[in-house]
Amino acid sequence: MATKDLQKELDNIHKLTIGDGDSKGDRRVIRGLRRILNRAESQVTVDSTTFKSDLRDQYKKRMGKEPSGKVMEGYANLGKDVVNGWKKKIQQHEDMTLTSSTATKIVFVIAEKVKTSKKGTQSMRDNYMLFQRENQKIVQPLIKSKYHHLFRGRTRTKKGHVRAVGDVGHDYSVTEKGRGGVAAGMLENLLAEDFPNPNDRDVIQKARDGFATVGLKAEEVLQIQGSGRTMRSTTKINLSLESDTTNRAKQAEDKKEGENVKKYIIDAIKASKSALSEGAKYVNKEGSTPFIDQVGEAIVCTPVKMAAYRAKKGKNLTKYKTPVKNATKRKDADTETKIKGSRQTIKGGGVDSAMVATITKGQRKDNPKKEDFALKIRNLLKVKRAINARLPAEIRRNMGKPSLTNRTGRFSNSAEITSITPAAQTLMVKYTYRLNPYETFENTGSKRWPTGYNPKPLIAKSIRGLALGLMEDKLTIRRE
């Protein structure tokens, strides 16, 4: 762990999402953000019904009238042929995985991938360009061979090129509004760090929550990792096939909304920098294996478990396949604990053997009676702090109809685990949230609300999601 300058971190966010403010610099920022987002794992939807509707709108704009029934039938058949073409394409591509399929619609995922050049330079693949390129290989031959009569008189770009029939559309957060998703995500990442001055945390929290006032939705907050050529979003990006006309209209709307987001980022960072304490610092954990991954490794990669996997008496279905290596290289680490077996040495701030013993109860050969119960409780407190640091963001990710909708962030920010204690064959997790005014959604009063509005299942789901991989024990989750 290292102590870092909070003012500089805010400057970095401003530089990445706003730049120097001039028009050329702003265009460079947008291009840079687009590259970052296009490197992420992408979920793609190809819906022939939606595509047909988009082509209808494109026809009306081009010809000034409704298309005939015969033209609409042609659009429908083209859409189905495109869907079938993608089904074949996905079977042949090792980085594409089909998630759902019907006669008129398919959904698939393009995995993120690191490319290595001939010179040995590594960079992330642009999945947006991959989808666009492969889609052209499917659509263009179909138009030339079967459907060319449907697209006479197409408009041209400023450079004189005939506009493409099908275009790739991002569902959200790629044009100007994308800077808001990145800035909010980077502030959210900061809130997971440690702040020597609690008031500085409040300043960052206020800046993060303010994005709700400029229309940024919870699902548009993007988590960013890496740097330089490997910088990318760890939030899955959604792409879809649509007409060029629809894509341009959506971009124009997003750009208009993005102006408000841009102004908010500038104002919020300026206000935050002036409100921070003198010499504001935060404890950055970058460079060390994330806490959750350390504990996850500790659960599934104990010597007993690894032996069971080798003997084929058990199957490891988690993402943790090998013992974790902590990348922290501090020479002044406070503690150094070696775990018996093939696991690596985990230094200061990592998972100690007592924590492994607590979380992987029943997997170790040590006599439980010899374990220090007080130490176990302290390590459960570490888990509680780790979950609480991420709980507000997880709740916001799970919000949306039919559940509560995130507006100000006040509800999600109020939720926290108050205790995690051992009970009979379970761990008792107790939490609380701001009861006034949100308790009414539990239907404890005279007014009746839809069942989905109840905050309790939402919070419990979020806690279980964060606890997955941290605790093997059965959880009992209750509100205090």
Residue 150 located in a structural domain: yes
Give me the half-sphere count of Cα atoms (radius 13 Å) on the Cβ side of residue 430. Answer: 6
Residue 284 located in a structural domain: no
Q: Are residues 152 and 27 in the same domain?
A: yes
d(CA 154, CA 175): 25
Q: Provide the pLDDT for residue 365.
A: 47
**CA 387 from centroid of its chain's CA atoms:** 16
Residue 60 located in a structural domain: yes
Q: Are residues 265 and 296 in the same domain?
A: no
First to last CA, the chain: 34
Residue 88 located in a structural domain: yes
Burial of 78 (C-beta count, 10 Å sphere; 0-12/13-18/19+): buried
Q: How many domains does the chain have?
A: 3
Residue 286 located in a structural domain: no
d(CA 314, CA 84): 39
What residues contact 20, with CB distance under 8 A and at least 6 apart?
A: none
Q: Provide the pLDDT for residue 231.
A: 79
Q: Are residues 214 and 84 in the same domain?
A: yes
Which of 343, 371, 399 finishes a domain?
Answer: 371
Q: Are residues 81 and 200 in the same domain?
A: yes
Q: Are residues 84 and 217 in the same domain?
A: yes
Q: Are residues 352 and 471 in the same domain?
A: no
In contact, 191 and 268? CB cutoff 8 Å: no
Q: Are residues 93 and 174 in the same domain?
A: yes
Q: Which two tokens stand for residue 445?
A: 């009063």
Residue 285 located in a structural domain: no
The series of mean pLDDT values per 10 residues for the chain, 480 residues long, is 86 89 76 86 89 84 88 92 94 90 92 83 87 88 86 58 58 66 88 87 92 82 77 80 70 72 92 94 62 49 63 63 46 35 32 45 46 61 82 87 84 90 82 90 85 91 80 81
Q: What is the CATH number of the domain that holds 415?
A: 3.30.300
Which of 323, 339, 371 finishes a domain?
Answer: 371
Q: Are residues 271 and 318 in the same domain?
A: no
d(CA 217, CA 240): 19
pTM of the model: 0.55
Give the structural domain span for 324.
291-371
- Would you tell me how many other CB atoms lie within 10 Å of the CB of residue 166? 25
Q: Are residues 96 and 213 in the same domain?
A: yes
Q: Provide the pLDDT for residue 375.
A: 58
Q: Are residues 398 and 384 in the same domain?
A: yes
What residues contact 153, with CB distance under 8 A and at least 6 apart?
A: 62, 63
Residue 364 located in a structural domain: yes
Beta bridge partners, 475, equal 427
Q: Which two tokens stand for residue 213?
A: 């006032």
Residue 8 located in a structural domain: yes
Which of 337, 355, 371 finishes a domain?
Answer: 371
Q: Provide the pLDDT for residue 323.
A: 53
Q: Are residues 147 and 221 in the same domain?
A: yes
Burial of 369 (C-beta count, 10 Å sphere; 0-12/13-18/19+): exposed
Q: Are residues 210 and 317 in the same domain?
A: no
